[in-house]
Structure 1
Amino acid sequence: MAFRRKNWMAGMLLATTFVVAPLANAADRVKFILDWAYQSQHSMFTIPADDGTYAELDLNVQVDRGAGSGDTVAKVASGAYEMGVADFYSMLRFNSQNPDNKLMAVMAVDDRSALAVASLSATGIKTPAELKGKTIASPAGDASRQLFPLFAQANNIDESSISWNNISIELREPILRRGDADAITGHLTTISMAIDAIGMKRDDIQFMAYSDYGVELVGHVVVARPEYVQSNPDVVRRFLRGAVHGYKKMVADPQLAVASIRKRDPMANADIELARLKMSLDYRMLTPNVQKNGISSVSPERIQRSIDQVGPVFGVDPSTKAADIYTTEYLPDRAELQLPPTGPASSTP
């Protein structure tokens, strides 16, 4: 009888251990918001959720679509989301307007910004100087519109000679097609996919990316509240490790990347998303710098130069330093950030 009681008690202890252990090791929840609708370049954040990488890192990650970088930074700053991906300059502008509720960047997703001016090739506008006296259509709050003064300054364009047509985002490419504006501004990959969707040919468009004409811009970054990062450093590290895994899988298997996005948005066109991913990788993500030095290899010195250049446009405190809003502390080791050779990245759209 004593033997049976001993085994019964041992069984109870094992059962108790089995129940308690998962509670003690419960995955950390992370709500993450994108900068826009689910698109193929976002698969670096969705693939780790699909293949179990986040789970293996003891993370329960929810990836939600966004409504623009400005909306994303506001929602992260409010605490509605732990982290998000947004345009670096949307974060910088938000910080200048909300000095008591600033955000910081913990990872560079794009090595180069894709903000650009686009015109119909038939207009003959091939250089920034030829924009003088022209009409440009753009949403007033778009980052490309907000940063145009830097593009103008770098290329000796008298801004007073430009007539701006403030429009809603869905009208931008159709207005260009109809010839109701000489040019538009926006994100290179977004414009390219939009003109495909309305039946225009890529050869019909002439692009002038700000980064190719004297404005050294960074692209999208992962943003978070400093207090969240400081209170949850290990969670941030694990999340970024999962995102690096997703980045590499996205590069290695574009079909997998598109499938991950279509799992969340079945209406996404697979061909368009494949083209979007190729352009995103070629132009703003797999730059020569990234291929040589690895993912998120933007130096603090480059961030500082960008702050100094963009700061006056957004009213940024002149004393702002790169270390105030950008850190590499939570990234994986540099060896883990390295990519296998993929050939030279294109520098043109």
Structure 2
Amino acid sequence: MLKTFAATLLTGLAFAGSVLAQETTVKFTLGWKTQGSDAAFFVARDKGYYKAEGLNVVIDQGEGSGATVTRIMGGAYDAGFGDVNAIIQNAAAKPGENPVMVYMIWNRPPFAISSKKATGITKPADLEGKTLGGSQGTPTTRLLEVFARKNNVDMAKVKLSNMAPNLQEPLLIKGDIDGALIFNITSYFNLVLNRQDPDKDFNWLMFGDYGLDLYSNGLMVSQKLIKENPKAVAGLVRATNKAMIEIAKDQALGMKSVMNFDNLVDEKVEKRRLQYSFSELIVSPEMKEIGIGDTKDDRMTRAIGIIVEGYQLARTPKPEEIFSRQFLPPKSERELVYTAN
């Protein structure tokens, strides 16, 4: 009987070993430090959605949504959450090496100018005669010239002050600058953490509302992974999509996994950030029409043109170099309904 038990145990261990051996490890980088808006990736991991697809997804914190692209291009990561506009820049310079967006999450761009309501900046023309603070090299700062041209703002009448990103909100609060060139999902909560009321006391000029109808962050993968293991890419997208649909209806579920990944984050603030990502960046008329994860080719073409102009790129990539919908689940499985709770 002991021999039978031992044989059964060995058989079980061998089977378990073969299952583990079949799992594909995917090294995944977030766009920044742990935030509530990353919840879908943690839920997909915690609830076993990635595992059910034969994936062992190893999630690391990031260094910026643009850095996600360079991390993947450098070979250290297979996939990540990052900015499609950084893909466009790299595709222009190094075609064939850039990652590919396979699941668009932020249908609307976070690029914006925040200002105290007392400053009176309610429309682009109000920027003339004002001082704006921005961090050199960030998309909002780099795209300001395009924003100005599209809205007939005379940049000769706008003063720019270069500063580190962590100084923008403090200097805005002090009144040392009139407006800050920011990412709304970052700046909004920096103001909250500085005990400000970003809704009551601040105005927001969203670039997407004034001619820069860009896409933004989503799930991207290396071209190497697409070529060598398309099944893994499809599974990664399918599992992430399943988690996205769930947390749109239940943010508490999302925050449980966020806190499980990093219990040092401010749970209350990060839950608000998760909800903000849905209300301000994810949910849009277009998303409701085509489902989360997809894009429209004509809009992507225009978006590429805006980035080429703003960054003065030598080459204009084609939409299919930037985004692929071949791994998306059917639209019926991507119909996201958001309920704040």
TM-score normalised to the size of structure 1? 0.90
What residue in structure 2 maps to residue 184 of structure 1? 180
Take 2:207 and 2:279, find their aligned partners in 1: how far apart are those partners?
16
What do the CA deviations read for 1:239-288 (whole angstroms, capped 9, x no partner)? 11110011112211111212211222222112211211221111111222
What residue in structure 2 maps to residue 275 of structure 1? 272
Given the alignment, which residue of 305, 309, 312 partners 2:306?
A: 309
The answer to whether 1:221 aligns with 2:215 is: no
Given the alignment, which residue of 162, 182, 196 partners 2:158?
A: 162
Given the alignment, which residue of 227, 245, 252 partners 2:242?
A: 245
What do the CA deviations read for 1:300-324 (whole angstroms, capped 9, x no partner)? 2211111122212223354421012
Take 1:319 and 1:194, find their aligned partners in 2: how far apart are those partners?
35
Query: Is the 2:249–2:339 Cα contact (8 Å) retained in structure 1?
Result: no
What do the CA deviations read for 1:66-120 (whole angstroms, capped 9, x no partner)? 1102222111111101001111112222333434632221110111112101111
What residue in structure 2 maps to residue 299 of structure 1? 296
The answer to whether 1:34 aligns with 2:37 is: no
Counterpart amino acid of 2:252?
Answer: Q
Given the alignment, which residue of 160, 164, 169 partners 1:173?
A: 169
Given the alignment, which residue of 15, 21, 29 partners 1:21?
A: 15
TM-score normalised to the size of structure 2? 0.92
What residue in structure 2 maps to residue 337 of structure 1? 334
Equivalent residue of 2:219, what SS? strand
Take 1:235 and 1:121, find their aligned partners in 2: how far apart are those partners?
48
Take 2:182 and 2:338, find their aligned partners in 1: how far apart are those partners?
31
Take 1:231 and 1:154, find their aligned partners in 2: how far apart are those partners?
43
The answer to whether 1:87 aligns with 2:83 is: yes
Question: By how many angstroms is 1:23 displaced?
Answer: 3.7
Q: Which runs of 5+ in 1 are unaligned?
A: 344-349
What residue in structure 1 maps to residue 194 of structure 2? 198
Equivalent residue of 1:25, what SS? helix
Question: By how many angstroms is 1:41 displaced?
Answer: 1.1
What residue in structure 1 maps to residue 231 of structure 2? 234
Q: Give the superposed CA RMSD.
A: 2.2
Take 2:190 and 2:314, find their aligned partners in 1: how far apart are those partners?
36
Query: Is the 1:291–1:341 Cα contact (8 Å) retained in structure 2?
Result: no
Kindly tell me: are residues 319 and 137 of structure 1, through their superposed partners in 2, closer, same or farther at Cα, counting changes over 3 Å?
closer
Counterpart amino acid of 2:109?
Answer: S
Take 1:267 and 1:336, find their aligned partners in 2: how far apart are those partners?
34
Structure showing greater radius of gyration is 1
Query: Is the 1:77–1:224 Cα contact (8 Å) retained in structure 2?
Result: no
Equivalent residue of 1:117, what SS? strand
Count of aligned pairs: 337
Take 1:218 and 1:107, find their aligned partners in 2: how far apart are those partners?
11
Equivalent residue of 2:264, what SS? coil
Given the alignment, which residue of 116, 120, 126 partners 1:120?
A: 116
Counterpart amino acid of 1:268?
Answer: V
What do the CA deviations read for 1:200-241 (whole angstroms, capped 9, x no partner)? 112111000000111111110222222221111000000111
What residue in structure 2 maps to residue 106 of structure 1? 102
What residue in structure 2 maps to residue 132 of structure 1? 128
Moved segments of 4+, more than 6 Å: 8-11
Q: Which runs of 5+ in 2 are unaligned?
A: none
Counterpart amino acid of 2:48?
Answer: G
* Percent pairwise identity: 26
The answer to whether 1:320 aligns with 2:314 is: no
Take 2:276 and 2:232, find their aligned partners in 1: how far apart are those partners?
31
With 135-144 and 153-162 compared, the bigger mean Cα shift is at: 153-162
Query: Is the 2:42–2:261 Cα contact (8 Å) retained in structure 1?
Result: no
Query: Is the 1:35–1:85 Cα contact (8 Å) retained in structure 2?
Result: yes
What do the CA deviations read for 1:317-342 (whole angstroms, capped 9, x no partner)? 54421012210001112221122475
What do the CA deviations read for 1:164-211 (whole angstroms, capped 9, x no partner)? 111111111000001111100111121110101111112111000000
What residue in structure 2 maps to residue 346 of structure 1? none
Equivalent residue of 2:246, what SS? helix
Kindly tell me: are residues 292 and 17 of structure 1, through their superposed partners in 2, closer, same or farther at Cα, counting changes over 3 Å?
same
